Amino acid sequence: MSNQQKTIAVVDDDPEMRCAMRNLLSALGYIGKTYDTAKTFLNCASTCEASCLVLDVQLGDISGIELAHRLAADGFRFPIIFMTGLDDEIIRKQAAAAGGIAFLRKPFSAETLAGAITKAVDTGLRTAQSSSQSGRINADKVFSTHSPVRLDQSLSGRLST
């Protein structure tokens, strides 16, 4: 399957970040659907066909980590990539415990995001194909951190205006 057939959902309360992520995902060959709050995403989670979620840790209504817990409690099993401007060990551990596939510190490069999405989508496919598993992803095996690179620099030359 090509990336163009995969949808990546992004939940971030910053409109500029949502726009940049939508453009970056498009440049990478994905369909980017963005949501401004966790509540907005929760309202349409049952119809969301995203291959993975990219959640900001700090949202205006509830945190991305709390959103991940609520989705899991409701039976949704999206592979999740967390992103944040804060590189805090406690937040990183909470994100891993919430089932995070990757933890990206803003700003990050297009390559870093693409690698995390590939890992998340592949993990989600393996989870969906294995009916003997509970659907829970072992975050200890796949959770990673990345050094920051400017997101706006990674967009230069890749997007046409």
Cis peptide before 107, with omega less than 30 degrees from 0? yes
One-character DSSP codes across 87-109: --HHHHHHHHHTTEEEEEESS--
Share of the chain above pLDDT 70, in %: 75
Residue 142 has pLDDT above 50, yes or no: no
Element (H, E) at 88: none
> Do residues 146 and 105 make contact, with C-beta atoms less than 8 angstroms apart?
yes
pLDDT of residue 130: 47
The average pLDDT across 7-22 equals: 97
What tens digit of pLDDT does each residue of 42-100 get?
A: 999 999 999 999 999 999 879 999 999 999 999 998 999 999 998 789 999 999 999 99
Domains along the sequence of the chain with CATH = 3-155 (3.40.50.2300)
pLDDT of residue 127: 60
pLDDT of residue 148: 31
Rounded to whole angstroms, how far apart are CA atoms 46 and 98? 19
What phi and psi, each to the nearest 5 degrees, are found at residue 109?
-85, 165
